[in-house]
């Protein structure tokens, strides 16, 4: 069996499964957020009753992150719906925006967008927060009401996105009927060259198989090249499996996985035991491809879908209006470090926005010094508009007052996020080009799509 | 549950993602709140670029669409897992989507909510039908008949998902079939 088949077999209590089998799978964690949580809670109460209790309150994780720093009153209300539910259910893992469990959330637009407006428990973007807060464990099943839930496949677990109705069902029963997907294998060899990042790897793969090349399938990344990828890198790759239509992404377990997960579960006091899955000798794949990491180059996915792959060099000279670094896939500490390495000592020439995925990342960037100045200060010096209000922000457009949102037609934006469908970052007549944080930085410095290696050398 | 639908067709191309089906700025609406469910319908397909789609799916200030049948190309419903997408279409009065291919989560959400019948076409239809054409979809025969040319196109029978949508979604189906308590 493949890694995905083994994970699903275990969660369904079966010795063997094969692609196409429909299984009742037990969830180890159900995650929801402010955009899909209120609807999920609505379904749960409608179907199981007003006073119903969730199947296991220790297995529900609720992370407001999408429409937080906006004056939109319905969005603020949605965070309050989550808080009321948490109170009614006694759910321990709720990463509220505010500290008062009886309070209500209201964004204060008068204070502006840049200064932090959250309390001590707020955790930022759900997919980045889940591992950081100790909720991802090898061998487990994670279901989330968000398509990028597949990011947790980096931790050798089955993780996939589901809708509100399915999530309401899981809240009540702890299980879900899932079909075992066929597995596509991507065998990684070699090591990425300087200036090339995990984002380039996944954009390359999606370009190869197409925007629907993995529909209904699992994407397994293995081979000797995995060892050289950090957990952040693996998360970037797994995150975008959905951009090829994938049901889930999966990485093997190794010492890096263990180190990360052990440190995070210990720090946060979450469940620390887990049992990874290992590959069998007789794995059956529906598709196999070798990716030579040495040969990868800075890559861009052109508007309007993540499969429109071009090398950054091929697009050289294409004028841009805006640059953006942020999101679950591209707003981690390592992403900002690469972004800053390219920008350091230089000035951006187009509007450039930086939104860290989580408050911990804000802290990292404000607490790490390069020649006496923090990374955060280096970014400000370069002219980047940095916000402390970590979250999804303009990655998915959101309400019109969202930081970094594209509110004008005709804007061309290069972005380290994961989607570039029409209107994804705001105005539906604008264009988004996806690239690594290094490529975004190089392009922000020149105002055109630029290969970061042209600036790093020397 | 009625096995056939007659109505006007709305036609879109490949890769219509959930942002185009229901733009992110309307995700502050909660589908299980009745008035917000209605409002979601009024914004269905509002994310289609106007340069490519001059006719809106829902007329300005209307709550419902005049198109009961949607015809699409490849990878319909890709992108986010937002259940708001099939719900917006269902709330606008659309009953069936025929596409060359569906993204997995959207397909599943159509079925779980019981809002829409997601039918997989056997050939590319979005280039040969036009928005506004009258058609009849017959779920039993798995066909779409275009009235003005009297041409019949087949799609894959819905199979095991049909009774779930017929029942009105996952919960009704699970109760009717004894999978969960009534
Ligand atoms: S950062 Fe973007 S892709 Fe990630 S969860 Fe938020 S909206 Fe979705």
Distance A421 CA to ligand 1 centre (A): 14
Where are the domains positioned within chain B?
4-176
Q: Structural domains in chain A?
A: 6-177 (3.30.499.10), 182-295 (3.30.499.10), 302-456 (3.30.499.10)
The interface predicted TM-score of the complex, written ipTM, equals: 0.96
As a whole number of angstroms, the distance between CA A298 and CA A457 comes to 14
Checking if the pLDDT of B182 tops 80, the result is no
Cβ-nearest to B83 among A165, A242, A398 = A165
**Architecture field, domain B4-176:** Alpha-Beta Barrel (3.20)
With a 6 Å cutoff on the Cβ, whether A231 touches ligand 1 is no
* Structure confidence at residue B180 as a pLDDT band (50, 70, 90): confident
Say yes or no: B24 contacts chain A, CB-CB below 8 A. Answer: yes
Is B33 in CB contact (< 8 Å) with chain A? Answer: yes
Length of chain B: 182
Q: Do A212 and B113 touch (CB under 8 A)?
A: no
B167 CA to centre of ligand 1 in angstroms: 33
Contact A166, A19 (CB under 8 A): no
For chain A, which residues score pLDDT lower than 50?
none
Residue contact B83–A424, C-beta within 8 A: no
Six-digit token string for B40 = 């979601």
B81, B109 Cβ separation under 8 angstroms: yes
CB of A36 sitting under 6 A from ligand 1: no
For residue A43, give the 3-state DSSP assignment.
helix
DSSP code, position A397: -
pLDDT digits (tens, 9 = 90+) for A151-187: 999 999 999 999 999 999 999 999 999 999 999 999 9
Q: What are the tens digits of pLDDT across the range A73-125?
A: 999 999 999 999 999 999 999 999 999 999 999 999 999 999 999 999 999 99
CB-based contact (8 Å) between A46 and chain B? yes
Which among A164, A166, A423 has CB closest to B47?
A: A423
CA A110 to CA A401: how far, in whole Å?
12
pLDDT at residue A86, rounded to an integer: 98
CB-based contact A145 B81, cutoff 8 Å: yes
Nearest residue to B118 (alpha-carbon basis) of A425, A446, A163: A163
B43 at interface of A, judged by CB pairs closer than 8 A: no
């Amino acid at each position: 069996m493949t890694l995905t088949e083994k994970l699903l077999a275990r969660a369904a209590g079966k010795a063997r499964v094969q692609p196409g089998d429909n299984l009742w799978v037990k969830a180890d964690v159900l995650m929801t957020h402010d955009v899909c949580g209120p609807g999920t809670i609505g379904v749960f109460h409608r179907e199981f009753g007003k006073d119903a209790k969730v199947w296991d309150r220790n297995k529900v994780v609720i992370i407001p992150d999408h429409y937080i720093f906006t004056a939109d009153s319905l969005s603020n209300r949605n965070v309050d719906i989550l808080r009321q539910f948490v109170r009614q259910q006694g759910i321990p893992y709720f990463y509220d925006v505010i500290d008062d469990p009886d309070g209500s959330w209201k964004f204060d637009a008068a204070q502006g967008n840049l200064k932090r407006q959250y309390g001590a428990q707020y955790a930022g973007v759900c997919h980045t927060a889940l591992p950081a807060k100790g909720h991802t464990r090898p061998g487990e099943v994670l279901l989330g009401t968000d398509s990028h839930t597949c990011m947790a496949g980096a931790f050798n677990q089955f993780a996939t996105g589901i809708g509100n109705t399915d999530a309401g069902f899981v809240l009540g029963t702890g299980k879900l009927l899932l079909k075992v997907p066929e597995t596509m294998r991507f065998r990684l060899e070699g090591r990425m060259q300087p200036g090339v990042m995990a984002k380039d790897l996944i954009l390359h793969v999606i370009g190869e198989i197409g925007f629907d090349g993995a529909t209904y399938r699992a994407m397994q990344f293995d081979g000797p090249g995995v060892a050289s990828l950090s957990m952040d890198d693996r998360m970037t790759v797994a995150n975008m499996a959905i951009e090829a239509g994938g049901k889930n992404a999966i990485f093997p377990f190794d010492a890096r996985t263990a180190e990360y997960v052990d440190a995070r579960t210990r720090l946060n006091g979450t469940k620390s035991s887990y049992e990874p899955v290992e590959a069998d000798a007789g794995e059956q794949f529906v598709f196999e491809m070798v990716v030579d990491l040495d040969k990868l180059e800075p890559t861009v996915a052109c508007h309007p879908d993540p499969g429109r792959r071009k090398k950054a060099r091929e697009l050289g000279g294409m004028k841009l209006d805006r640059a953006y670094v942020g999101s679950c896939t591209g707003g981690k500490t390592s992403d900002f470090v690469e972004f800053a390495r390219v920008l350091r000592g230089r000035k951006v020439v187009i509007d450039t926005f930086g939104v860290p995925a989580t408050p911990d990342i804000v802290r990292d960037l404000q607490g790490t010094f390069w020649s006496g100045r923090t990374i955060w200060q280096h970014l400000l010096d370069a002219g980047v508009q940095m916000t402390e209000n970590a979250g999804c922000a303009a990655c998915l457009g959101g309400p019109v007052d969202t930081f970094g949102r594209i509110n004008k037609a005709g804007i061309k934006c290069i972005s380290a996020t994961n989607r570039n469908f029409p209107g994804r970052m705001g105005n539906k007549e604008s264009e988004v080009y996806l690239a690594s944080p290094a490529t975004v930085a190089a392009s922000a410095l020149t105002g055109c799509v630029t290969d970061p290696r042209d600036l790093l050398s020397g | 549950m009625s096995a056939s639908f007659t109505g006007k067709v709305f036609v879109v191309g490949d890769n219509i993602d959930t942002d185009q089906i229901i733009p992110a700025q309307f995700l502050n609406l909660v589908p299980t709140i009745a008035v917000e469910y209605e409002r979601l319908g009024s914004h269905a397909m509002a994310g289609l670029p106007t340069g490519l789609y001059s006719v809106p799916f829902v007329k300005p200030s209307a709550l419902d669409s005049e198109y009961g049948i949607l015809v699409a190309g490849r990878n319909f419903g890709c992108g986010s897992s937002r259940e708001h997408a099939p719900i917006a279409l269902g709330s606008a009065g659309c009953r069936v989507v025929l596409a060359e291919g569906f993204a997995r989560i959207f397909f599943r959400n159509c079925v779980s909510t019981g809002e829409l019948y997601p039918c997989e076409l056997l050939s590319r239809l979005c280039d040969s039908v036009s928005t506004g054409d009258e058609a009849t979809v017959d779920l039993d025969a798995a066909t779409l008949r275009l009235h003005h040319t009297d041409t019949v196109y087949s799609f894959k029978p819905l199979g095991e998902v049909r009774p779930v949508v017929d029942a009105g979604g996952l919960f009704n189906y699970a109760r009717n079939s004894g999978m969960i308590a009534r």
